[in-house]
């Protein structure tokens, strides 16, 4: 059984958690009530992989550059019953694979009417979502695999690989509607992703020293043999250049946690080979306070005293004793 992570402030039933930092967010919108490409709340029965064709597809008539909000014409005649996909702009970045997270701007509209039902350009906030079965409509999952970061992808998604026969009533999508999407892939993240930025000097001999490798492997955490600090420590190890994390942000991270007393690792995304996303409103206070204000792209050392961690009530089976000081290395990959 796959081991869940350890950080949320409330424990999901049956899970060992760090009050369970988890995979609960996945970057997706609330399903069934959002017109975003998240999977429908009541997913249709698993459809076979689609045949991917290049046409027919409507024309992009304005906003033709990568990152610009596009205007897309109405579908030309009847849509294909297959998944139509075209790279309108071919990027030169990392290749996207299934189960990767992508960061992308997108616009979605209905084939027959050209009615736009959702777009991220107006919100000025790209979507971060995992290309995983059950987390996103299958049309996106199949269409975007193999594409490169920097690409603009135009696709027409039949109901079979969209919202199924139930459609999405809030978005005005009928069960018979073929959907047209333009997707600008800005970035992608997987289990080998790391912080990107400038190394920051770690000169305090009374604090743990964290490795600065950015090869996707877990950084070392060397804890000094001294008494732990009584207050929260949240220091840059690598300082990124992205947006600052807000107190209510949801973030995508790599992390590793060890005990101050022993240096023993008790939780790690690296060991699971799987990134984690969570809201800072769901995690223990030390995480929430330590990451607020930090920049996306950074690696942060967080030392959490018991009063901001688990205190005298650590998660059962976690290997964390009462009143333990916890040490984390956290790579902030994206805001979601």
How many residues appear in the chain?
336
List the structure tokens of 285: 């206070």
Residue carrying structure tokens 């869940």: 4
Strand partners, 154: 86, 182
Report the distance separating Cα 254 and Cα 238, nearest Å.
13
Q: Over the stretch 258-309, which tens digit does the pLDDT of each residue have? A: 999 999 999 999 999 999 999 999 999 999 999 999 999 999 999 999 999 9
Per-residue pLDDT tens digits for 217-231: 999 999 999 999 999
pTM over 0.85: yes
- 107 has pLDDT over 90: yes
Closest of 290, 211, 282, 201 to residue 248, by C-alpha: 282
What is residue 27's three-state secondary structure? Answer: coil
pLDDT tens track for 47-77? 899 999 999 999 999 999 999 999 999 999 9
């Amino acid at each position: 059984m796959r081991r869940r992570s350890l950080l949320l402030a409330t424990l999901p039933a049956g899970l060992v958690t760090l009050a369970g930092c988890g995979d609960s967010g996945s970057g997706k919108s609330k399903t069934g009530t959002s017109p975003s490409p998240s999977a429908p709340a009541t997913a249709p029965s698993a459809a076979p992989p689609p045949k991917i064709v290049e046409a027919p597809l409507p024309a992009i008539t304005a906003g033709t550059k990568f990152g610009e909000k596009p205007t897309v014409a109405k579908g030309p005649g009847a849509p294909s019953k297959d998944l139509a996909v075209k790279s309108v702009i071919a990027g030169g970045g990392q290749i996207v694979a299934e189960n990767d997270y992508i960061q992308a701007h997108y616009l979605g509209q209905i084939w027959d009417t050209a009615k736009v039902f959702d777009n991220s350009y107006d919100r000025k906030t790209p979507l971060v979502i995992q290309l995983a079965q059950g987390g996103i409509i299958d049309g996106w999952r199949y269409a975007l695999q193999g594409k490169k970061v920097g690409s603009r992808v135009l696709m027409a998604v039949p109901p079979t690989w969209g919202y199924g026969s139930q459609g999405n009533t809030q978005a005005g999508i009928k069960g018979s509607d073929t959907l047209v999407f333009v997707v600008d892939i800005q970035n992608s993240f997987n289990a080998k992703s790391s912080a990107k930025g400038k190394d920051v000097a770690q000169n305090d001999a009374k604090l743990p020293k964290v490795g600065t490798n950015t090869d996707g492997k877990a950084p070392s955490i060397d804890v000094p043999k001294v008494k732990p600090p009584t207050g929260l420590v949240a220091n840059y190890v690598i300082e990124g250049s992205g947006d600052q994390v807000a107190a209510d942000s949801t973030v995508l991270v790599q992390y590793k946690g060890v005990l101050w007393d022993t240096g023993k690792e008790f939780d790690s995304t690296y060991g699971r080979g799987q990134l984690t996303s969570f809201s800072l409103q769901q995690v223990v206070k030390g995480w929430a306070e330590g990451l607020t204000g930090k920049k996306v792209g950074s690696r942060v050392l967080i030392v959490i005293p018991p009063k901001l961690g688990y205190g005298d009530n650590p998660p059962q089976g976690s290997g964390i004793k009462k009143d333990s000081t916890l040490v984390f290395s956290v790579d902030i990959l994206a805001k979601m």
